[in-house]
Amino acid sequence: MSKTISKILVTGALGQIGSELTTELRRRYGDSNVVASDLKPGPEGELGQAGPFEQVSVTDAEGLTAVCIRHNIDTIVHLAAILSATGEKDPLAAWHVNMTGLINALEIARDLELAQVLCPSSIAVFGAGCPRDNTPQETVLKPSTIYGVTKVAGELLCDYYVGRYGVDARGLRYPGIVSAETLPGGGTTDYAVEIYYSAVENGEYTCFVSEDTRLPMMYMPDCIKGTIDLMEADPDRLIHHGDFNMGSMSFSAGELAASIREHIPGFRTTYRPDYRQAIADSWPSSIDDTAARDEWDWRPEYDLQAMTGDMLAKLRTRHEAGLLYR
Ligand code: NAD
Ligand code: SER
């Protein structure tokens, strides 16, 4: 029997996903029932004003525990992390934030008997030896980045806390997330967001992966919907816990540029692969998410055309108001 989710702490709430997920959670659970937190100071915008905010590092076990007790938290949505490209610049920092942060969240859940901890994983768990097309749920996990190593360890840790302590820990392997609200924070898939901003701002983009680089991606509305669907899924249906493959769409950098060109015919792209190319090459090109579909009815809604239309409409409106990078 699962416990009720009523008071949520979102770590990493000022990041690409947290800034939008927090707003949607507040809409559903009530502004005062969703506490945003981050290492960075509280924002002055909508997110900061709409509900409580706590500045705390997820590596600070005492500080994080105090926040949970002060707000009577029963669920942690643990988004604070160092992503793949930034992680390669300082692997020890990535290990510290991603692993110490997660174990702190799980220990708090065990100690305070929380209802749930949700922690995203990533397509970065995959690497050499796994099939690149339609990558299955169960396969070889040999990532080449420190970020991927922390995500594999994180999935195992979540499953361990489920089995050993009965903590309700859940997680999904997000593909690259594309969004118009908050810029991404140092991942390999960031080009799939930057390209829209540059198209609207300059009509050109220099891409840091090659034209034929094909990766699984997802538009933010599907990411938010899927994340909350998993949080609210009936635990009795879940066979997996911390490691659901989550698919949506899959396209090459060239196909992405072509979809933008349908709206901005003169849009020009140059391809100058850097160190992130090797990371992208180590990841799947598409994902088999049968387990998510079977166990909690996952169904994405957006394809590339729908996403491009929506991204460009949003960014153009902001650009015209002088608020593209607000
Ligand atoms: P992001 O980099 O945009 O945001 C991370 C947030 O965590 C930032 O606001 C940062 O200030 C905060 N943070 C960093 N160190 C912290 C610390 N010590 N204590 C507290 N906060 C700290 O990341 P995101 O894209 O929003 O990702 C959220 C989660 O989703 C992460 O676990 C990430 O691995 C996962 N994920 C994201 C993507 C994607 O494409 N965005 C894909 C796969 C998985
Ligand atoms: N978007 C993420 C990254 O590129 C995938 O986890 O790091």
DSSP state of 67: H
> In the numeric block, which tokens belong to residue 164?
């050993």
Q: Using one digit for the tens of pLDDT, what is the confidence trace for 220-279?
A: 999 999 999 999 999 999 999 999 999 999 999 999 999 999 999 999 999 999 999 999
Q: How far apart are the first and last CA of the chain?
A: 44
Q: Is the distance from CB of 276 to CB of 208 less than 8 angstroms? A: yes
**Sheet order of strands, 169-170 included:** 53-55, 34-38, 8-11, 75-78, 116-118, 169-170
Per-residue HEC secondary structure of 75-103 comes to EEEECCCCCHHHHHHCHHHHHHHHHHHHH
- Ligand 1 — pocket residues by CB below 6 A? 11-12, 14-18, 38-40, 57-59, 79-81, 83, 97, 101, 120, 122, 174, 176-177, 184-187, 189
Report the C-alpha gap between 175 and 170 in whole angstroms.
16
Q: Which of 83, 119, 287 to mutate to test the pocket of ligand 2 (most atoms within 8 A of CB)?
A: 83
Distance 223 CA to ligand 1 centre (A): 14
The residue among 68, 44, 53, 66 whose CA lies nearest residue 13 is 53
Cα 298 to Cα 120, 124, 151, 228, 244, distances in angstroms = 15, 20, 21, 11, 10
Would you place residue 295 in the very low, low, confident or very high pLDDT band (cuts 50, 70, 90)?
Answer: very high
pLDDT over threshold 70, residue 168:
yes
Q: Is the distance from CB of 178 to CB of 193 less than 8 angstroms? A: yes
Q: Which of 183, 188, 208, 220 to mutate to test the pocket of ligand 2 (most atoms within 8 A of CB)?
A: 188
- Residue 280 has φ and ψ, to the nearest 5°, of -60, -40
Cα R_g (the chain), whole angstroms: 19
Distance 69 CA to ligand 2 centre (A): 32
Would you place residue 173 in the very low, low, confident or very high pLDDT band (cuts 50, 70, 90)?
Answer: very high
Would you place residue 77 in the very low, low, confident or very high pLDDT band (cuts 50, 70, 90)?
Answer: very high
Total-model pTM: 0.98
Would you place residue 42 in the very low, low, confident or very high pLDDT band (cuts 50, 70, 90)?
Answer: confident
Higher pLDDT, 141 or 50: 141
Q: Please tell me the residue having the least CA distance from ligand 2 atom 6.
A: 122
pLDDT over threshold 70, residue 99:
yes
Burial bucket for residue 60 (CB in 10 Å: 0-12, 13-18, 19+): middle
DSSP code per residue over 240-308: --S-EE---EEEEHHHHHHHHHTTSTT-EEEE---THHHHHHTS-SSB--HHHHHHH-------HHHHH
Ligand showing the shortest atom-to-Cα distance for residue 41: 1
Tokens 């996990």 locate to 141
Q: In the chain, what are the domains?
A: 8-175+219-245 (3.40.50.720), 177-217+250-283+303-320 (3.90.25)
> In the numeric block, which tokens belong to residue 121?
């994983």
Would you place residue 61 in the very low, low, confident or very high pLDDT band (cuts 50, 70, 90)?
Answer: very high
pLDDT over threshold 90, residue 149:
yes
> In the numeric block, which tokens belong to residue 44?
């002055």
Q: Say what the pLDDT of residue 135 is.
A: 98
**What is the average pLDDT value for the chain, to the nearest integer?**
97
Determine the average pLDDT of the residues in 287-310. 98
Would you place residue 2 in the very low, low, confident or very high pLDDT band (cuts 50, 70, 90)?
Answer: confident
Report the C-alpha gap between 120 and 102 in whole angstroms.
10
Which atom from ligand 2 is nearest to the alpha carbon of 176? 1
Determine the average pLDDT of the residues in 171-179. 98
Q: Say what the pLDDT of residue 49 is.
A: 76
Would you place residue 43 in the very low, low, confident or very high pLDDT band (cuts 50, 70, 90)?
Answer: confident
Q: Say what the pLDDT of residue 45 is.
A: 66
Distance 111 CA to ligand 1 centre (A): 25
pLDDT over threshold 60, residue 1:
no
